[in-house]
Structure 1
Amino acid sequence: MSLSAKVSLDNPVWMALSTKHAHLGRGGPLARRYDPDVAPFAAVASETTDAYQALHRLLEPHEYVVLQSLAPLTDPDGLKAKHLGTVQQMVAGPRAGNADRRNVIRLGASDVPEMLDLAQRAKPGPFGKRTREMGNYIGIREGDRLIAMAGERMALNRYVEVSAVCVDEQWRGHGLAGRLVNVLCEEIVGRGDTPFLHVFHHNATAIGLYERLGFVLRCEFILTQISPVAAAAGGR
Structure 2
Amino acid sequence: MSHALDNPVWESLISRHAALARRAGNAARYPSDTAPFVAVGIADSAAAEELASLVEVGESVLFVGMTPPLGTGWSVEPEVLIAQMTCDARLSVNDGPPIVELLPDRVDDMLALTALVYPFYFRPRTVTMGRYFGIYDGDTLAAMAGERMRFDGHQEISAVCTHPDYTGRGHAQRLVAALTNDILDSGRVPFLHVAHQNVRAKALYERLGYTMRAEIPLVAVTRLGEGEG
Task: State the TM-score, normalizing by the size of structure 2.
Answer: 0.92
Provide the C-alpha distance between the structure 2 equivalents of 1:58 and 1:27, rounded to a whole number of angstroms: 7
AA partner of residue 157 (structure 1): D
Distance 1:100 1:73, change over 3 A: farther
Provide the C-alpha distance between the structure 2 equivalents of 1:87 and 1:232, rounded to a whole number of angstroms: 33
Aligned to 1:21: 17
In the alignment, structure 1 residue 128 sits paired with structure 2 residue 116: no
Task: Select the residue among 109, 126, 132 that pairs with 1:137.
Answer: 132
Question: Greater shift after overlay, 91-100 or 171-180?
Answer: 91-100
| Matched position secondary structure for 1:83 | coil
Give how far 1:69 is off.
Answer: 3.0
| Matched position secondary structure for 2:78 | strand
In the alignment, structure 1 residue 207 sits paired with structure 2 residue 202: yes
Q: Which runs of 5+ in 1 are unaligned?
A: none
Task: State the TM-score, normalizing by the size of structure 1.
Answer: 0.89
Spell out, residue by residue over 1:89-139, the C-alpha distance to the aligned partner (whole angstroms, 9 max, x if none): 001131256665741001011110110000011227610000111111000
Q: How many residues align?
A: 229
Aligned to 1:61: 57
| Matched position secondary structure for 1:22 | coil
Aligned to 1:188: 183
| Matched position secondary structure for 2:42 | coil
Question: Greater shift after overlay, 138-147 or 21-30?
Answer: 21-30
Aligned to 1:91: 86
Q: Which runs of 5+ in 2 are unaligned?
A: none
AA partner of residue 136 (structure 1): R
Spell out, residue by residue over 1:180-215, the C-alpha distance to the aligned partner (whole angstroms, 9 max, x if none): 001111111121101000001111111110001111
Spell out, residue by residue over 1:48-79, the C-alpha distance to the aligned partner (whole angstroms, 9 max, x if none): 01000000111121322211236x87643522
CA contact (8 A) 1:101 1:179 kept: yes
CA contact (8 A) 1:89 1:218 kept: yes
RMSD: 2.2
